[in-house]
Amino acid sequence: MRDYPGTRQTLIDIDTIPEKGKGVPVDHNKIVAENVSAFFGKVQAIRDIQISIPENSIVAIIGPSGCGKSTFLRSINRMHELVHGTRITGKILLDGEDVYSIDPVLIRKKIGMVFQKPNPFPTMSIFDNVAAGLRMGGTHDRKNIAEIVERSLQQAALWNEVKDSLSKSGVGLSGGQQQRLCIARALAVNPEVILMDEPASALDPIATAKIEELLFELKKRYTIVIVTHNMQQAARVSDYTAFFYMGELIEYDVTKKIFTAPSMKQTEDYVTGRFG
């Protein structure tokens, strides 16, 4: 097991917000993006993104539809390049190492992803869904797998609901349970970073609340980047918020500041609901 550094406080009091760059308690930048641009054919989806994502924090990416937030997220774990005719320039560093110089399979083991729509493997049981990444990654020790599956399901706050039906189909669960199953599946391969692409947008408010609660637990061990359309959600769960607009990073700061005293006009217009 890795040794996890101590957690920082989650909810920042309005009076204690540090000035940008002065007091932000950055132990270590887990991910650093330098001049990242991504293209679909000739269309440029994101332009010169510069962002640093601190370890063990939750960073929310907000912005109107088509602003490139999902594209940026998918650039981090090299999912962007899977689409035919796409291209990416710039650097994305994970612990100082360029992810584009490492095999994508290794990168995706370190950087897990949860998608907008829950997508459990339909031919597999709940257990097999969680174990899939392990088994296909070359782990075959049954006892070890069983332990990891249980731990992952517990971390995803799903264990108590499914422990008696592990051999049942994963798609038989409710939408919220399916999404937590997908989170457990991502956790099982022991990633360091988890990317979430609007993980709660297909869920009802109660399931959403569960996922959000889960995020607070998860950030003790993982670094989380979450794309969301829901500004309340960004405000509730994240430590830092990045506002994307028209493919550019407009503003990136401590979440409270983005929502109470943004320094850019566009950010203010967006978070106050004037557009988007």
Partner 1 sequence: MDNYRFHFRKFTSLFMFTLCGVSVLIALVPLVLIFYRTVAFGFSAINWDFFTQMPKPVGESGGGLANAIVGTMILVGLGSCMSLPVGIMAGIYLAEYGDNWFGQSVRFLTDVLNGIPSIVTGVVAYTVVVLPMKHFSAYAGGVALGILMIPTITRTTEEILRTVPHSLREAALALGIPRWKTSLQIVLRTAMSGVVTGILLAVARAAGETAPLLFTALNNRFWNTSMNQPMASLTVFIYNYAVSPFDDWIAQAWAGTFVLMTLILLLSLTVRLATRNKFAGNLL
CB of 121 to partner 1, least distance (A): 6
- Are the CB atoms for 139 and 152 separated by under 8 Å? no
CB of 96 to partner 1, least distance (A): 20
CB of 82 to partner 1, least distance (A): 7
Residue 60 or 107 having the CB closest to partner 1: 107
Residue 136 or 206 having the CB closest to partner 1: 136
Residue 73 or 250 having the CB closest to partner 1: 73
Residue 50 or 123 having the CB closest to partner 1: 123
Residue 65 or 167 having the CB closest to partner 1: 167
- Are the CB atoms for 61 and 227 separated by under 8 Å? yes
Residue 12 or 196 having the CB closest to partner 1: 196
Would you tell me which residues interact with partner 1 (CB under 8 A)? Answer: 77, 79, 82, 84, 105-110, 112-113, 115, 117, 119-125, 132-133, 136-137, 169, 171-172, 182, 185-186, 189
Sign of the Cα torsion 200, 204, 209, 211 reads negative
Residue 203 or 235 having the CB closest to partner 1: 203
CB of 55 to partner 1, least distance (A): 20
CB of 122 to partner 1, least distance (A): 5
Residue 89 or 123 having the CB closest to partner 1: 123
CB of 108 to partner 1, least distance (A): 4
Token pair for 182: 């997908």
Q: Decide: helix, strand or coil at residue 167.
A: coil
Angle of CA points 60, 44, 53, to nearest 5° = 25
Query: N- to C-terminal Cα distance for the chain?
Result: 43
Residue from 77, 82, 81, 98 nearest 38 by CA: 81
Contacts of residue 41, defined as CB under 8 A and 6 or more positions apart, other chains included, come to 85, 86
Contacts of residue 189, defined as CB under 8 A and 6 or more positions apart, other chains included, come to 109, 112, 133, 134, 137
Q: Please state, in angstroms and rounded to a whole number, the distance separating the CA atoms of residues 181 and 204.
A: 16
Token pair for 242: 């990045």
CB of 168 to partner 1, least distance (A): 8
Phi, psi of 159 (to 5 degrees): -55, -50
- Are the CB atoms for 145 and 137 separated by under 8 Å? no
Task: For residue 60, list its beta bridge partners.
Answer: 226, 241
CB of 54 to partner 1, least distance (A): 23
Residue from 72, 7, 56, 26 nearest 243 by CA: 72
